[in-house]
Copies of this chain bind each other. A is one copy, B any other.
Amino acid sequence: MKKIINEPADVVTESLRGLAAAHADILRVQEDPAVVVRADAPVAGKVAVISGGGSGHEPLHGGFVGLGMLDAAVPGAVFTSPTPDAVQAAIRATTGEAGALLIVKNYTGDVLNFETAGELAAAEDLDVRSVVIDDDVAVADSTFTAGRRGVGGTVLLEKITGAAAERGDSLDAVEALARKVIGQVRSIGVALTAPTVPHVGEPSFALGPGEIEFGIGIHGEPGRERIPAEPADALVARLVQAVVEDLPFERGDRVLLFTNSMGATPLVELYLAHGIAERLLADRGIMVERRLVGPYITSLEMQGMSLTLLRLDDELTELWDAPVNTAALRWKA
């Protein structure tokens, strides 16, 4: 294992210090327990939008804290759920009378720990709701999950609910919107190589030189099948087919296409794959109206990519386009 780290146990804490130093205008970091909080939190009268999960998927979630997206992110150790007290600290730092929405990726540890934190918040008379995202079409159950896993759709969900909270929507409205997004978004990924968790020191799995893992999870969990490596045209067609036929997305649908690098796949390859996906969707009569291309939900230094499709309507498009100011996503209307 070669990494730019000191002690494996200190990776997340030291990384958060660098994040805080780089983006003091956008966020602050509380240590012990570790929480990334919007610089101007709590924002009076606003629903807080909070997410979190194991580290190693950066910029998810800390890179999405800021105006128009998350009020707080709760980073666990690498590939490890954050503890309930850390989630509770994030709620306390951001949540007022308007309440909070917790966005939880569907992994058993995350679901349990966010649920416990929600109960602690209720005991403090805070109105805290949760939604669980499970957009990965690859497998029905997985190593760390009962039901489908939460993956790339999380980025889109955080952006859209964050925009709704920012414009002043009520907790009822933000929660309903989140459930709507979860119903309209689907993803799938592929790995060419394995990630290495710092405190483990070895790759999470072994792939032969000509093998790829189709339907990979973001922690290296097994996917649908291990298949021979194939040209990008065939591979992207396989990804597009899996996602489109699941919801299904249909001729005439308007969509956001999110082409994500799992970490080590370079942009020159990612844009190549994105171009193929755009063409294949056009062939199916599906209209790509918004795009996101880049490494936004990663798995350490894993080579690979994922595709996420979100069915758009006017409301979701408007919320996607709304201003955002975070370390990883930044634009004005």
Task: Name A's B-contacting residues (CB within 8 A).
Answer: 2-7, 11-12, 14-23, 55-56, 58-59, 63, 78, 192-193, 209-210, 212, 229, 231-233, 235-236, 259, 263-276, 278, 288, 291, 293, 295, 298, 300-301, 303, 305, 327, 330-332
Q: In the complex, what distance in Å separates the CA atom of A271 from the CA atom of B2?
A: 16
CA distance A330 to B14 in the complex (A): 27
Residues from chain B with a CB closer than 8 A to the CB of A231 are 5-7
B4 lies within 8 A of A235 (CB):
yes
Q: Can you list the 5 inter-chain pairs with the closest CB atoms, starting with the nearest?
A: A18-B275, A264-B264, A18-B271, A58-B267, A18-B274
Chain B residues lying within 8 Å of A235, measured Cβ to Cβ, are: 4
Give every chain B residue within 8 A of A16 (Cβ-Cβ).
271
In the complex, residue of chain B having the shortest beta-carbon distance to the beta carbon of A56: B268
A22 touches B271 (CB 8 A): yes
On whether the beta carbons of A266 and B301 are closer than 8 Å, the reply is: yes
Give Cα distance in the complex from A246 to B329, angstroms: 34
Whether the Cβ atoms of A14 and B275 lie closer than 8 Å is yes
A14 & B331 in contact (Cβ 8 Å cutoff): no
Contact indicator A2/B301 (Cβ below 8 Å): no
Residue contact A272 to B2, C-beta cutoff 8 Å = no
Report A213 CB to chain B, min CB distance, Å: 11
B18 touches A276 (CB 8 A): yes
Q: Which residue of B lies closest to A7 (CB)?
A: B231
Cα distance, A330 to B266, chains bound together (Å): 20
Chain A contact residues, majority secondary structure: mixed
Give A270 to B264 CA distance when docked, in angstroms: 13
Contact A2 B209, beta carbon cutoff 8 Å: yes
| A56→B267 CA distance, assembly (Å) | 8
Q: Which of B15, B270, B301, B305 contacts A271 (CB 8 A)?
A: B15
Known contacts A18-B276, A21-B278, A275-B15: A2-B212 contact under CB 8 Å: yes
Please name all residues of chain B whose beta carbon is closer than 8 Å to the beta carbon of A23 when the two chains form the complex.
Answer: 291
Whether B293 lies near A22 (C-beta < 8 A) is yes
Write out the residue numbers on chain B whose beta carbons fall within 8 Å of the beta carbon of A192: 2-4
- Contacts known (A192-B4, A231-B6); A17 close to B267, Cβ less than 8 A: no
Known: A55-B268, A268-B11. A303 touches B2 (CB 8 A): yes
- B59 near A14 (CB under 8 angstroms)? no
A265 to B268, CA, bound (A): 16
Q: Is A264 a contact of B263 with CB atoms below 8 Å?
A: yes
From A3, A233, A288, A300, residue with most partner B Cβ within 10 Å: A3
Q: Which residues of B contact A263 (CB under 8 A)?
A: 264, 266
Q: 15 A-B Cβ contacts within 8 A?
A: A2-B193, A3-B269, A4-B232, A5-B269, A6-B231, A7-B231, A11-B272, A14-B232, A14-B276, A18-B259, A18-B273, A18-B275, A63-B267, A264-B303, A301-B303
Given contacts A233-B6, A266-B301, A272 and B330 within 8 Å (CB-CB): no
A291 to B18, CA, bound (A): 11
- Is the beta-carbon distance between A12 and B268 smaller than 8 angstroms? yes
Please state if B58 and A275 are interface contacts (CB–CB under 8 Å): no
Residues of chain B within 8 A of A269, CB atoms compared:
3-5, 11, 15
> Roughly how many angstroms separate A291 CA and B21 CA in the complex, as a whole number?
9
How far does the alpha carbon of A59 sit from the alpha carbon of B11 in the complex, in Å?
A: 27
